[in-house]
Structure 1
């Protein structure tokens, strides 16, 4: 499972780093570039809850490898279109939407499968190793290769990504996992009823509810930053492709440090307090990126942002897995993700609008304000504490 996740992230990093550069080469309109990012998040709003309900009903391992086969074939077709000069901005938007639609099932199935692979008490370190391995593959290994692959042809990063999807599918298909625990589903129960049960479980858990609200606010800011980061780097700061990739590599390096520190911070501060500290540091990093016109500050700010983002993500995922009922984990995961991610398309469009109206640096300042609001949303849960619990 670790090898499949790492290999797949390697290919994802090639594609997601090359797509903004391709979009920027096709149009100089910030809103159109931002639309590619927005359509990469939109399926979570439309299909996210259904993906979680399906993940709790089907063989999660089979769902994961089947989705990866489909995504591999889809990206291979896109690579062919780019090679033939048919990779217009409209096709980029369609690809982003389709890949994320399939991801709604894959991610929820993966979250629900991990507790069947490792013991409950090992979920924190397991999440850390998964995410750290993905950062190594996606940041340190993949990102420096992007300029070389683009020099070999605009379609090359997408062709390699397609191969990694297919290889990851083969690895997941080879897993042998125990059957899921939990009582059988009542006959005739609808997907709608399953979804409602997952939403209720998330709403009734106050720490998870607060964490979900904070993550939603952060994702509005993340959508604004991600959608316009290539424009901030190449337009506001005048960076070339190599400098842009260098800044993104700093983000990956920071994430590796965060992966090593996440469990230690959680042991010292508690998981929710660790998330709160991460949000404060990310707010400061975004404020610096949007204020100081310097490639050095951008690179350092992204390193800090990556470090604390990993601390946030590892502790968030572990809290959700530890506090959710095992039989509902796919649905709680999908409810959390759908609510949290729903702000990202709005953020991407807001980022494009801010960049157009007030300057290419302003989306980072918008994001800083939203991260500060997220920290305030977390504060009640931090004050009361969040003991882990295991539900059946």
Structure 2
């Protein structure tokens, strides 16, 4: 799909959402480095290390579908504000426990579980709001700019900042995150949401279970959105297995310290920034199918390239290319999905997509921990490579149909015969 270059001026309500997401994701990025480092102060056991991201991701599996139905029922902006306030309270409590020296793995896992539960609702509401605030022609630009900014805060600025604060005091990154969440709530409160279109609301008296079934039925009939959900689930299993062992890979194979680990994680963010800047040009010059296929090849090769290198600079270069892929892939797949899904179903469809996305990472994290414990931290990287390669072969021919589905609207639901 090749699109006309949209205007670079994005609507003001989206800009407030954009600012709030950037603020909260800076805190998320701080914990991206501080979290694994905190776990390793308690234990070096690979399975215990992998259980930390698993505890934060499993709520998406348990409550994801419920979150989608709730997002389609309530004021999405108010829901975002409420759950971010709850996240702030959990983070404040965790910072106090760390500062007191009483932190143990059960308490840490419990706090991460509560954070993941809140994120399941907040992220779904935020994603569902984007097509409401941005015209269809600007969705690609909006997604790339939003993802690019989140990449800067979550992966570039956040991890080294979190690692540096962690080196000063283990509780400091968590106290900082709480302050950032308070600011994000203020920014989200300024988002002006347009009134829903006539007939877009749910029927009175409809049960939540029936609403969930309606969303699942729509996705089952829509080939492109359904296949994207399956695809991101499978690739996130392989990615999650590798990512769960990244802290051990960085410290053992690359011999990096706390700050070096944060910088390694930031390498992909630099690629994400470049990807965000290049996306309007890539969108104009190449079809979405070409962008999706190229990205899947890069992701597959990333696992192999990482496990074969012992040089920190080369690992950072590999993750830089991965960052470009992640930004472009996320922008394209989100745009296809947002254009195809009607507003009244966005929360429920997003819940299925995020369930697969986060659930895939959670499953991969747990699997990576088991493989790392039974074999070594290198085993998940090999699993990631071979698993991604098989998936790539299965979906290669179907990319053209998937990539163009968003331009056909809601009714483009045929399944092409070549899909395995």
Q: TM-score range by the shorter chain?
A: over 0.9
1:2 Cα deviation after fit: 1.0
TM-score normalised over the length of structure 2: 0.89
Tell me the residue number matched to 1:215: 232
Tell me the residue number matched to 2:157: 141
Tell me the residue number matched to 1:80: 96
1:310 Cα deviation after fit: 1.1
Tell me the residue number matched to 1:386: 404
| Cα RMSD (Å) | 1.7
Q: Which moved more, 1:340-349 or 1:28-37?
A: 340-349
Asked if residue 63 in structure 1 is aligned to residue 82 in structure 2, the reply is no
Tell me the distance in 1 between the aligned counterparts of 2:141 and 2:233: 25
| Secondary structure of 1:77's aligned partner | helix
1:383 Cα deviation after fit: 4.1
Asked if residue 153 in structure 1 is aligned to residue 169 in structure 2, the reply is yes
1:379 Cα deviation after fit: 2.0
1:9 Cα deviation after fit: 0.6
| Secondary structure of 2:121's aligned partner | helix
Tell me the residue number matched to 1:351: 368
Decide which of 284, 288, 308 is 1:267's aligned counterpart.
284
Decide which of 231, 238, 242 is 1:225's aligned counterpart.
242
**Is the CA contact 2:164–2:259 (under 8 Å) kept in the aligned structure 1?**
no
Decide which of 181, 184, 187 is 1:165's aligned counterpart.
181
Q: Which moved more, 1:158-167 or 1:198-207?
A: 198-207
Asked if residue 96 in structure 1 is aligned to residue 112 in structure 2, the reply is yes
Tell me the residue number matched to 1:340: 357
1:253 Cα deviation after fit: 0.5
Tell me the residue number matched to 1:305: 322
Tell me the distance in 1 between the aligned counterparts of 2:304 and 2:331: 24
**Is the CA contact 1:206–1:381 (under 8 Å) kept in the aligned structure 2?**
no
TM-score normalised over the length of structure 1: 0.95
Decide which of 37, 57, 70 is 1:54's aligned counterpart.
70
Tell me the residue number matched to 1:256: 273
Tell me the residue number matched to 2:308: 291
**Is the CA contact 2:200–2:343 (under 8 Å) kept in the aligned structure 1?**
no
Which deviations, in whole Å up to 9, do the C-alpha atoms of 1:256-311 show, x marking residues without a partner? 11222334333333224312210101111221101222222221111111111111
Which deviations, in whole Å up to 9, do the C-alpha atoms of 1:8-36 show, x marking residues without a partner? 11111111210100101110110000011
**Is the CA contact 1:60–1:110 (under 8 Å) kept in the aligned structure 2?**
yes
Which deviations, in whole Å up to 9, do the C-alpha atoms of 1:119-159 show, x marking residues without a partner? 11111101111111111222332233223312321100000
1:204 Cα deviation after fit: 1.3
Tell me the distance in 2 between the aligned counterparts of 1:203 and 1:87: 44
**Is the CA contact 1:127–1:318 (under 8 Å) kept in the aligned structure 2?**
yes
In structure 2, list runs of 5 or more residues that go unmatched: 1-16, 412-420
1:380 Cα deviation after fit: 3.6
Decide which of 30, 41, 55 is 1:25's aligned counterpart.
41
Rate the CA distance shift 1:206–1:143 in 2: closer, same or farther, 3 A.
same
Tell me the distance in 2 between the aligned counterparts of 1:35 and 1:8: 23
Rate the CA distance shift 1:157–1:307 in 2: closer, same or farther, 3 A.
same
Tell me the distance in 1 between the aligned counterparts of 2:155 and 2:32: 11
